[in-house]
Every structure is written in structure tokens, then in C-alpha cells.
């Protein structure tokens, strides 16, 4: 009956045993690499499916992707034009400072939330189907990238109305966005197992992110002294935000060395967490499944 009686001689073999996967590092890394390629494809199709599903049930459809950030930017513009925020060179600079800060921070916090939200949404298939689990993270990153792209273009359009001229430093802007997304994903993946097991994480996360905003150079310009300024100085996110802002607006004077070191560190942490995620997810799934 079988078309190919010798088939079983070259079948891929999978072994499940209690032994920790990391004890066989070569096979483990090989599997990670294989699943990484698969999860890029699957993550992309999950992302497309999510976008379609989200916006199909909305009358205005995909335009919602644009509407929300556009309204935010427009609001800042109108507030400024109507002198609700005092005009003048100082005020223009503050508007640029604040708007770029908030946009960058929003991108970061979306990146933190993405793995957690996607994990919760796919819980039901996680416990039933076997697929490269990394796809959940990948599809989250695609979503964050899309939103980040739209927000940053709108920001640059607004800034151009206030005669901010882009120069070569603008290259720093996308670089810092990517670094912030990586850093956010790292934090999101750290929280992921806890968020899957305990609902405390979801409850506390919005507050923590709000607090985080105040210890980063987002809306407040840190002074030379004071406790807050000290915290902002040691906060590794500060240099990423400041570099992005410098790229978009030319404001501030961030250390490029610090920026690249932080960016590379984030990548290192991402690789580490990618491995940890893979190891721990089956255990997490076991505990959440009925």
C-alpha cells in the first residue's frame, strides 16, 4: 500500500526524553537554527493573519493603523499652533523633545508587551499544536515594526513642519528604534514565562512601564543633579532614546559609543533569551494546560 516501502529508513527522528536539551549543545543549536528559519515564515504568516483579522472587523479597516498615531501627532501640532504650549524657539524644541521621546517610548513599550500579548492570544493553540514556538515572538516583532514605521514617519513629517532639517544623523533614528525594539523584546521575553503562569505580571506591567517612562528621558528633561537625573543616567534605555531623538531632531548630545555598546548588549541578551524561551516553554505549557 505504501508508495515507498523504504521510506522509514530516511525519516527524521525526534527523541523526547527528560534529559535537559542543553546537555547536547550541538543538536540543540542545530534545532534552534532550523526552527528559527521556520519561525520567520510562520511568524510572518501569523502576523499577516492577525492584521487581516484585526482590521477586517473594523469599518475603517487598515486605516486605523494610521489614524491613532496621526491623531496623537496632530493633537501636539494643534496644541502648539494655538499657543496652548507657549511658542518660541524653546517651546518648539520642547515639542520636538517630548514628541520624539513619547514616540520612542511607545515603540519600546509595545515591544515589551508584544510577546506577552501574543502568548496569551495563542495559549489555546500552544497547548494543542506543535509548531516552532519562536514564531509567536517573531510575529510580535513584525507588528511592532509596522507600528513603529508608521509612527516615526508621521513624527518626521510633523518635525519638518517646524523646520527640523534631516541630516546624516537621521540614520541613528531607525537604528535606535531597532535597538529599542530588541531591548523591549528582551524584557518582554524575560517576563513571558511569569506572565504565562501568573496574572500578576499583566496587572503590574502598565504601571511599571509608566514609572519607567519617568526614569527615562521621555517627557522630562533631566537636570544635572537630583536622584531622578542619577537614575536616568544609569538607565540603559536613556542612551537609546537620546540617540534616536538626536537622530530625528538634532537635540541633545548622546555618546555614540554607549549607544552601540547598549545595542550590542541587547542583541546578546536577545540570543540568550531566545535559548531560554525555547527551553522553558514546554514546561510552561505543561503548567498552563488543563
Q: Which is nearer to another protein, 130 or 255 (CB)?
A: 130
CA 85 – CA 97 distance, rounded (Å): 13
Q: Which is nearer to another protein, 126 or 178 (CB)?
A: 126
144: which residues sit within 8 A by CB, 6+ positions away? 107, 110, 111, 114, 181, 184, 185
Q: Which is nearer to another protein, 28 or 94 (CB)?
A: 28
Packing angle between helix 200-214 and helix 172-197, nearest 10 degrees? 150
CA 137 – CA 118 distance, rounded (Å): 8
Q: How far is CA 280 from CA 11, 16, 20, 92, 134, in A?
A: 27, 15, 10, 49, 12
CB of 13 to another protein, least distance (A): 5
CA 40 – CA 34 distance, rounded (Å): 10
CA 281 – CA 290 distance, rounded (Å): 16
56: which residues sit within 8 A by CB, 6+ positions away? none
Residues interacting with another protein, by CB under 8 A? 1-3, 7-9, 11-23, 41-42, 45-46, 49, 52-54, 56-57, 122, 124-131, 193-194, 197-198, 276, 279-280, 282-287, 289
CB of 102 to another protein, least distance (A): 31
Is 28 in a helix, a strand, or coil?
Answer: helix
Q: Which is nearer to another protein, 155 or 273 (CB)?
A: 273
Q: Which is nearer to another protein, 52 or 230 (CB)?
A: 52
Is 147 in a helix, a strand, or coil?
Answer: helix
98: exposed, middle or buried (Cβ count in 10 Å: 0-12, 13-18, 19+): middle
CB of 282 to another protein, least distance (A): 5
CA 48 – CA 22 distance, rounded (Å): 33
CB of 289 to another protein, least distance (A): 7
CB of 188 to another protein, least distance (A): 17
CB of 138 to another protein, least distance (A): 12
CB of 26 to another protein, least distance (A): 14
Q: Which is nearer to another protein, 56 or 203 (CB)?
A: 56
Q: Which is nearer to another protein, 41 or 87 (CB)?
A: 41
Amino acid at each position: 500500500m505504501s508508495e515507498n516501502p523504504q521510506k522509514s529508513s530516511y525519516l527524521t527522528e525526534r527523541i523526547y526524553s527528560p534529559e535537559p536539551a542543553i546537555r547536547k549543545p550541538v543538536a540543540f543549536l542545530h534545532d534552534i537554527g532550523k526552527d528559527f528559519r521556520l519561525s520567520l515564515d510562520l511568524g510572518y504568516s501569523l502576523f499577516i493573519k492577525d492584521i487581516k483579522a484585526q482590521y477586517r472587523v473594523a469599518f475603517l479597516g487598515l486605516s486605523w493603523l494610521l489614524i491613532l498615531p496621526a491623531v496623537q501627532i496632530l493633537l501636539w501640532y494643534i496644541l502648539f499652533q494655538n499657543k496652548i504650549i507657549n511658542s518660541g524657539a524653546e517651546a518648539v524644541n520642547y515639542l520636538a523633545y517630548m514628541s520624539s521621546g513619547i514616540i520612542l517610548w511607545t515603540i519600546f513599550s509595545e515591544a515589551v508587551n508584544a510577546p506577552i500579548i501574543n502568548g496569551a492570544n495563542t495559549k489555546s493553540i500552544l497547548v494543542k499544536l506543535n509548531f516552532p514556538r519562536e514564531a509567536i515572538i517573531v510575529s510580535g516583532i513584525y507588528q511592532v515594526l509596522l507600528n513603529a514605521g508608521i509612527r516615526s514617519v508621521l513624527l518626521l513629517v510633523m518635525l519638518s513642519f517646524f523646520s527640523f532639517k534631516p541630516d546624516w544623523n537621521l540614520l541613528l533614528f531607525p537604528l535606535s528604534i531597532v535597538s529599542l525594539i530588541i531591548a523591549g523584546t528582551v524584557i518582554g521575553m524575560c517576563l513571558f514565562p511569569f506572565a504565562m503562569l501568573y496574572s500578576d505580571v499583566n496587572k503590574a506591567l502598565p504601571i511599571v512601564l509608566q514609572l519607567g517612562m519617568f526614569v527615562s528621558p521621555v517627557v522630562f528633561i533631566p537636570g544635572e543633579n537630583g536622584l531622578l537625573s542619577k537614575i536616568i543616567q544609569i538607565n540603559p534605555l536613556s542612551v537609546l532614546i537620546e540617540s534616536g531623538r538626536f537622530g530625528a531632531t538634532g537635540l541633545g548630545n548622546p555618546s555614540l559609543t554607549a549607544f552601540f555598546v547598549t545595542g550590542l548588549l541587547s542583541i546578546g541578551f536577545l540570543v540568550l533569551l531566545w535559548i531560554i524561551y525555547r527551553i522553558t516553554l514546554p514546561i510552561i505549557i505543561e503548567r498552563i494546560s488543563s
